[in-house]
Amino acid sequence: MHLKQRYRMSDLFKNIVSHCKEYGFVFQSSEIYDGLGAVYDYGPMGTLLKNNIREYWWKSMVQLHDNIHGIDSAIFMHPTTWKASGHLDAFMDPLIDNKDSKKRYRADVLIEDYIEKINKKVDKEVSKAAKRFGDDFVEEKFKSEHPRVSGYLAQIAEIRAELARCLTEGDLPALGKLIADLDIADPASGSRNWTEVRQFNLMFSTQLGSVAGKEDKLYLRPETAQGIFVNFLNVANTTRSKVPFGIAQTGKAFRNEIIARQFIFRMKEFEQMEMQYFVRPGEELDYYKYWKEFRMKWHRALGTPEDKLRFHDHDNLAHYANAAVDIEYDFPFGFKELEGIHSRTDFDLKKHQEFSGKKLQYFDTDLNENYTPYVVETSIGLDRMFLSILSQAYQEDEVPDASGKASSRLVLKIPPALAPIKCAVLPLVKNKEAITDKAQAIFNDLRFSFDCQYDEKDTIGRRYRRQDAIGTPYCITVDFESLEDGEVTLRERDSLEQVRIPISEVEAVIRENTSMSNLLKTLQ
């Protein structure tokens, strides 16, 4: 990517952040007290959008799969849960401090950023050569034969392999050495005066003080998945499920993230949407494939361009996983993880069985045998999904103004089924009672079906812009003629097409074009 393009991307990110604040999508938490780092509140528009994304996920997973059941487990769990899951001993980030700037970084992120810089050099060489060779250009051939580029790629592979080894083996001194060998400097100060790398647990703890003088340590869950594992038998028995079956839930998770300056991409308090699918041992990789494809289809059904989403296989598999992939989205700051799909073997159920002393097995009547099911999980952050949708939707384009001249507008092209407000009812003029009465009657009717707004302030052009800025797919204008012919003007957000339709048809047209069911049907 060219430097100029990169600047534009960072401007885009800044614009999205300020748009979120201006139009009531996302606010800094406790803003009147100067805010709390990496914690955010959702405003009126943001809450509606978030609810719609959650509904899309929930319905596609629970409603469309008759063997997936939804639960809502508590944030607090018995402290032994976290011993069994491995979070107490191993849910760590490798951190490094710069002695001069006193800033703290994740060691692996510093190295990843270094790799990204080399990647950028490769991209630059590739686009230069593509221009030079025109139609004859074969990217793969160029990458393997061009001495400088193949050297960059070999260097990336070498760094990745060492990083993966350090992380898998927990080799912190080697991680520090890698940072020194690569001559990585503090991005803030340019200093190379680093401390050694240390592990830092990401879980927040609090006290349960039910008996005076005796306090037990509790943790805020760092993922929703463990609430599913510990309820495996409860759900299997009460739903009389046969393997394979799944358990899904959405809910808050908490992580004491140190590097937290990417808006809602990385927060200390965030929401996850997770599903654990319990299968016969040996069949897990077939289901892994199914879920990988289904989840990508779910993203693409929103109209996200092909080149904005990609799979990224994990370089370093956790010791209990036998396959793991991320779905990455091309955020304004580059491709980053949006969702993880993991084949976790029987690790979690076996651990909970060991630590609780309770048998967590399944009797398979078809095979006539007992076993611990294997698990394939899909895990997506609701807030990251929200950010990816806004990044995709935020656009500036040109539209004709009232006099027919081109003027720029800011529009959120949010998929209609997810848009916070489905339609706005606008009386063309506000000083004619008959028109405002008619418009209000239409609005009062539509609000039973959709989230709608009624707006009579300002010129019609300004009102259209306000609706564009919050992503409303349809505006309905009521004018003098409406009183005579019972028709209104329906304006579509993206095409700007305006058509006259009978008032009696408005509800059906909006329903058809903004419905969650129609979006879900595309997943079949």
Nearer to ligand ATP, 254 or 464 (CB): 254
Closest distance between ligand ATP and the C-beta of residue 150, in Å?
29
What are the distances in angstroms from CA 415 to CA 44, 219, 272, 312, 438? 18, 37, 21, 25, 29
Closest distance between ligand ATP and the C-beta of residue 99, in Å?
26
Tell me how far apart the alpha carbons of residues 163 and 304 are, in angstroms, rounded to a whole number.
32
Residues 6+ apart with CB under 8 A from 224: 73, 249, 250, 251, 253, 272, 274
Question: Are 505 and 413 within 8 A, CB to CB?
Answer: no
Q: Residue 4 burial by CB count (10 A; 0-12/13-18/19+): exposed, middle or buried?
A: exposed
- Binding piece for ligand ATP, criterion CB under 6 A, among 129-137, 264-272, 315-323, 344-352: 264-272
Tell me how far apart the alpha carbons of residues 346 and 373 are, in angstroms, rounded to a whole number.
6
Total residues interacting with ligand ATP, rule: CB under 6 A: 16
Binding test (CB under 6 A) with ligand ATP, winner from 55, 171, 337, 456 = 337
Tell me how far apart the alpha carbons of residues 316 and 163 are, in angstroms, rounded to a whole number.
9
In the block, which residue shows the tokens 């927040």?
204
Question: Are 226 and 86 within 8 A, CB to CB?
Answer: no
SS3 341: strand
**Residue 108 contacts ligand ATP per CB under 6 A:** no
Nearer to ligand ATP, 384 or 491 (CB): 384
Binding test (CB under 6 A) with ligand ATP, winner from 340, 416, 471, 473 = 340
Closest distance between ligand ATP and the C-beta of residue 379, in Å?
4
- Binding piece for ligand ATP, criterion CB under 6 A, among 10-18, 361-369, 375-383, 475-483: 375-383
Supply angle C-alpha 382, 386, 387, rounded to 5: 120
**Residue 272 contacts ligand ATP per CB under 6 A:** yes
Binding test (CB under 6 A) with ligand ATP, winner from 163, 267, 309, 490 = 267
Q: What is the DSSP string of 479-517?
A: -HHHHHHSEEEEEETTT--EEEEEHHHHHHHHHHHH-HH
Closest distance between ligand ATP and the C-beta of residue 383, in Å?
5
**Residue 94 contacts ligand ATP per CB under 6 A:** no
**Residue 329 contacts ligand ATP per CB under 6 A:** no
Nearer to ligand ATP, 116 or 369 (CB): 116
Going by C-alpha positions, the residue among 441, 421, 438, 354 that lies closest to residue 86 is 354
- Binding piece for ligand ATP, criterion CB under 6 A, among 82-90, 114-122, 235-243, 376-384: 376-384
Closest distance between ligand ATP and the C-beta of residue 389, in Å?
13
Binding test (CB under 6 A) with ligand ATP, winner from 186, 284, 348, 383 = 383
- Binding piece for ligand ATP, criterion CB under 6 A, among 81-89, 168-176, 304-312, 335-343: 335-343
SS3 98: strand
Closest distance between ligand ATP and the C-beta of residue 287, in Å?
18
Residues 6+ apart with CB under 8 A from 6: none
Binding test (CB under 6 A) with ligand ATP, winner from 17, 220, 243, 338 = 338
Give me the helix-helix angle, 382-393 and 3-22, nearest 10°: 110
Binding test (CB under 6 A) with ligand ATP, winner from 178, 243, 296, 380 = 380
Nearer to ligand ATP, 252 or 297 (CB): 252
Question: Are 205 and 218 within 8 A, CB to CB?
Answer: yes
Between strands 423-427 and 474-478, the pairing is parallel
- Binding piece for ligand ATP, criterion CB under 6 A, among 138-146, 266-274, 366-374, 420-428: 266-274
Q: Residue 521 burial by CB count (10 A; 0-12/13-18/19+): exposed, middle or buried?
A: exposed
Closest distance between ligand ATP and the C-beta of residue 338, in Å?
6
Tell me how far apart the alpha carbons of residues 233 and 363 are, in angstroms, rounded to a whole number.
11
Question: Are 72 and 225 within 8 A, CB to CB?
Answer: no
- Considering only residues 384 to 423 of the shown chain, the ones binding ligand ATP according to CB under 6 A are 384
- Considering only residues 150 to 189 of the shown chain, the ones binding ligand ATP according to CB under 6 A are none
Residue nearest to ligand ATP (CB): 381
**Residue 352 contacts ligand ATP per CB under 6 A:** no
Question: Are 505 and 450 within 8 A, CB to CB?
Answer: no
Tell me how far apart the alpha carbons of residues 485 and 498 are, in angstroms, rounded to a whole number.
17
**Residue 276 contacts ligand ATP per CB under 6 A:** no
**Residue 381 contacts ligand ATP per CB under 6 A:** yes
Buried b (16+ CB within 10 A) or exposed e, 353-375: beeeeeebbbeeeeeeeeebbbb
User: Alpha helix (H) ranges present in 59-96?
Assistant: 80-85, 87-90
Nearer to ligand ATP, 162 or 339 (CB): 339
**Residue 257 contacts ligand ATP per CB under 6 A:** yes
**Residue 225 contacts ligand ATP per CB under 6 A:** no
Between strands 498-502 and 26-28, the pairing is unpaired
**Residue 379 contacts ligand ATP per CB under 6 A:** yes
**Residue 473 contacts ligand ATP per CB under 6 A:** no
**Residue 220 contacts ligand ATP per CB under 6 A:** no
Residues within the interface to ligand ATP (CB under 6 A):
223, 255, 257, 266-267, 270, 272, 337-340, 379-381, 383-384
